[in-house]
Structure 1
């Protein structure tokens, strides 16, 4: 059991460390990040319950609607919603790169608990693919969400609502595309590999832009 938990948790910790250490200009309070991670972990259970109820009650006539659309929309909406009500106005959300860290934290909290439950059900032999795809994709969805939340908080007022909306709908769109590829029975890997490469490129580009915005923000405040 200890080995299984370690294997399930390791990808999330590694990915979070990667994004955390890329922020060389400021250090975000670890306690707030831990709280955000816990929010994401707790979210796993109501979301899985909601998905189970909808599946059992056969709310959607076509099961692919639930697997592709419903799952992506619900997961990303609740992560966005928690960030908006618990983190967005927090005093420690004080620079543009913070959005990336909080987005990654809540996404990896969700992905880590989901990963533990999955490995408990299907075994450790699935851990490698889980780390490469579901866990890392959740982290990158979080990067995109957090980047635009950071943009909205530190942009001109007329851009705030636009960026907040993009922070919700961009991860939803990426998640839906991911789900659509994943449910394809034939040769799905030929589409998933380029999509994951694109997702990493896109996410790392947002990380770089967020870091540049952080430098500009600190310069404007005459902290550097």
Structure 2
């Protein structure tokens, strides 16, 4: 029970934060739940798609190439693509999607639905230490990928031009950021024992990247809140 609580708690905290940042016109809880469950379903579909490849290693002879394939091919591309599909399907034509910040709210809800199921699976299999680590890193990262996706998703919806371009950015930028995040983790794990200097460099690079991701996320949230049509 404790592991389940640790798995779900960071998801709840971030969802509540994103919800209450929507200070001018909050979204219907029922629609947020649909978006969240869409994210859960995107995780299920991802697992089913990748299941046939479970247990197959990547033999490239190059740890950098191997880390890139795992980060993008097994994680970023399928995960962010399926999140985007469910986000578009549930939200794009919904009448409640009526201001810029809404795209971020719904995209983060989808992303955290995905992260919630993924986190439960990881933590129940690997224990408390993994749960605490993921609470501060992996779950917020999924939310921040959602912020980027939602930011451009709203630009696509409310700007009169460049709809396709902004939809493309919504998906592509989320994939790129997710891929870089996972690449640094996979490369660190795969290069263990090569050089302590390489390991130190990768740890520093990872936390710099995470800090930049957080800064960018907060800025995007602030920009879209300021664009609210419901501001007095």
Same fold (TM over 0.5): yes
Structure 1 stretches lacking a partner, 5+ long: none
Deviation string 1:1-55 (CA, Å, 9 cap, x unpaired) is: x211111000001011111111111111011001110111122122123223234
For residues 25 and 140 of structure 1, the distance between their equivalents in structure 2, rounded to whole angstroms, comes to: 22
For residues 102 and 202 of structure 1, the distance between their equivalents in structure 2, rounded to whole angstroms, comes to: 18
Match of 1:124 among 107, 128, 133: 128
Match of 1:207 among 221, 225, 228: 221
Query: Please, what is the CA RMSD of the aligned residues?
Result: 1.6
Match of 2:103 among 63, 78, 99: 99
SS in 2 for 1:92: coil
Match of 2:174 in 1: 171
Match of 1:183 among 179, 183, 186: 186
Match of 1:69 in 2: 72
Q: TM-score, normalised by structure 1?
A: 0.90
Deviation string 1:176-224 (CA, Å, 9 cap, x unpaired) is: 110111112223321221111101001111101111121xx336xxxx3
Contact 2:76 2:175 in 1 (8 A): yes
For residues 137 and 70 of structure 2, the distance between their equivalents in structure 1, rounded to whole angstroms, comes to: 16
Q: TM-score, normalised by structure 2?
A: 0.87
Moved beyond 6 Å, runs of 4+: none
For residues 218 and 11 of structure 1, the distance between their equivalents in structure 2, rounded to whole angstroms, comes to: 29
For residues 113 and 55 of structure 1, the distance between their equivalents in structure 2, rounded to whole angstroms, comes to: 18
Contact 1:145 1:168 in 2 (8 A): yes
For residues 120 and 200 of structure 1, the distance between their equivalents in structure 2, rounded to whole angstroms, comes to: 27
1:9-158 to 2 correspondences below 5 Å? 9-56=8-55, 62=60, 63-70=66-73, 71-156=75-160, 158=161
SS in 1 for 2:122: helix
How many matched pairs?
215
For residues 171 and 144 of structure 1, the distance between their equivalents in structure 2, rounded to whole angstroms, comes to: 6
SS in 1 for 2:22: coil
Shift of 1:57: 5.8
Deviation string 1:118-156 (CA, Å, 9 cap, x unpaired) is: 011100122221011110100000011011111111111
For residues 172 and 65 of structure 1, the distance between their equivalents in structure 2, rounded to whole angstroms, comes to: 12
Contact 1:37 1:109 in 2 (8 A): yes
Contact 1:55 1:66 in 2 (8 A): no
SS in 2 for 1:26: coil
